[in-house]
Amino acid sequence: MLAAPSFGACSLNFSTLVGQEAMATNGATSAAVWPQASAAVYIPFQVIIPWKVNSFAFRVNTQSGNCDVGIFDEGGTCLVAKGATVVGAAGLQVVDLSASVSRGTAGVQLGVGTYYMAMSVDNITASVFRIANVQVPVLRACGLRQQTSAYPLPATATFATLGNNYCPNVICGPNPIV
């Protein structure tokens, strides 16, 4: 199993120096189809003040099939996952993690530490916005991981080295995201 980088993980806003460099020099947001059917992408983030996860959001470009979103701890244990969720129409899609989840604890409390936001899609037609033009080595340095055959999201992640530059533009929050 791959461990999070020792310099600390980065959230989607790439709060580490590596991430800031990636965004400053290469990063742009653009829509692209999901890179592999049933694959999951794990994006690390750091919690410095405990809070509850109530929602998860991403921006859809092309509606198709289903997705699953969730939060995993540093060791790969799923803390919460929504389960099969229709990829919505174009625009912001907010997924409620405070109730009716398929795995883990709804509104899970995160303590100080490193976690992973996870997203998987059951097809390669759905298109979501992602951080574009960032090279694979930079995303690996930020701690991104992947897993094939991970739809729906598993109870325990099998982290693998990221093999593509697909980083979905996602966010999770303590309050409903509007």
Give me the residue spans of the domains in the chain.
Answer: 17-173
Supply the pLDDT for residue 74: 95
Share of the chain above pLDDT 90, in %: 66
> In the predicted model, what is the mean pLDDT of the chain?
85
Secondary structure (3-state) at 138: helix
* pLDDT above 60 for 20: no
pTM of the model: 0.86
Supply the pLDDT for residue 142: 85
Residue 138 banded pLDDT, cuts 50, 70, 90: confident
pLDDT tens for each residue of 53-82: 999 999 999 999 999 999 999 999 999 999
Angle at 155 between CA 172 and CA 146, to 5 degrees: 65
- Who's near 6: CB < 8 A, 6+ residues apart? none
Cα(22)–Cα(85) distance, integer angstroms: 31
HEC-encoded secondary structure of 13-64: CCCCHHHHHHHHHCCEEEEEECCCCCCEEEEEEEECCCEECCEEEEEEEECC
Supply the pLDDT for residue 14: 44
Tokens 């099939």 belong to residue: 65
Q: Answer whether 118's CB lies under 8 Å from 81's CB.
A: yes
Supply the pLDDT for residue 22: 55
* pLDDT above 60 for 160: yes
Question: Of the spans 1-5, 73-77, 110-114, which averages the highest pLDDT?
Answer: 73-77
For 110-131, what is the mean pLDDT? 95
Q: Domain 17-173 is of which CATH architecture?
A: Sandwich (2.60)
If one compares 46 and 13, the residue with the highest pLDDT of the two is 46
Supply the pLDDT for residue 134: 82
Supply the pLDDT for residue 36: 97
